[in-house]
Amino acid sequence: MEARHLRYALALAEHRHFGRAARALGIAQPPLSKQIADLERETGARLFDRTRQGVFPTAAGEAFLARARRALEEMTAARTDAGRAARGETGRLRLGFIASALLDPLPDVLGRFGRERPDVRLELHEMASRRGTAALVAGELDVAVTLGPPRGAGAEHLVSVPVGHDHLIAVVGSAHPYAGQASVSVDQLRRQPLIVATGEDEPVIAAGLRALLGEDAAALEGATVARDVHTIMGLAACGVGVGLGPSRMREAARPGIRFCEVTPRTALPDLVLSFAHRDRSPALDAFLDVVRRNCPDVGAALDLRLGRA
């Protein structure tokens, strides 16, 4: 039994005449009569009564036609759903990201993606760079935004592109002696209790701070460890010490804190967007297209990585 058999039976029930039904279907009458007869043999029931007044469904025919309508509707819906999924209009996208990416660039990218692809289910997971890389390699994520390029086993199979550049700044409470300064020096930082990201989760940041402050810096050894940039700013506002983090922290300015540049200016590892090329889904391709259009410089680099340049 094929879809055309269902369409033929429904057309015959609508027109109640083999000739009229055949014309509506764009076929000759004899093939239609044969197909209906084949259908009745396959179902083992007489589906239509042939009378002088016309052709009418039997009780078995009415039951068959009800199912046939639903089956054709489901087939149409299946084609529609398949097309939408192939175009990345439906499906699922699993995104892992570090907290500072929510300051920039993720708000604009996720907002645009949500507006353009409202039926794609977004699964968002805040996680440190090391965990995000491991989850991406393990297939638990479709895309990850990390601090610095992914490292470790399996990272060589990922496609990565920078999505943000940044440098180190300090944040202090409004009552702190440095609150009125436009910048603070490394020597000044060495004399203050510091608030920094955990080295276990963000090893590239920990290594950079050790290089900046010195391996034996007492301030770093006794630093308060914070989970993310929001915690760093909150602790600074409480007067715990001088927080160190990316300059994009300024996007989340709040009462009770002040920002200072760190001199000499110290570049931080790039924010990097990564994904597994071999596992790209239509939903991921749609997300990358939004990234490409929202961040033109990123798009050029992404095209280069994918061999489109």
The predicted-structure confidence for 246-262, as pLDDT tens digits, reads as follows 899 998 888 999 999 99
The predicted-structure confidence for 98-111, as pLDDT tens digits, reads as follows 888 888 889 999 99
Please give the C-alpha separations between residue 67 and each of 60, 74, 76, 81, in angstroms, as whole numbers: 11, 10, 14, 20
Query: Above 50 in pLDDT, residue 113?
Result: yes
The pLDDT value given to residue 154: 87
Query: Above 70 in pLDDT, residue 35?
Result: yes
Q: Where are the alpha helices (DSSP H) in 249-295?
A: 282-294
The pLDDT value given to residue 94: 96
The whole-model pTM stands at 0.73
What is the 8-class DSSP label of residue 223?
P
The pLDDT value given to residue 1: 81
Question: 176 phi and psi, to 5 degrees?
Answer: -75, 150
Query: Above 90 in pLDDT, residue 97?
Result: yes
Residues 182 and 260: beta-carbon distance below 8 Å: yes
Question: 140 phi and psi, to 5 degrees?
Answer: -85, -15
Query: Above 50 in pLDDT, residue 309?
Result: no
Query: Above 90 in pLDDT, residue 142?
Result: yes
Distance CA 148, CA 165 (A): 10
Q: Helix-strand-coil percent breakdown of the chain, rounded to 5?
A: 50, 25, 25
Distance CA 248, CA 169 (A): 9
Distance CA 284, CA 38 (A): 46
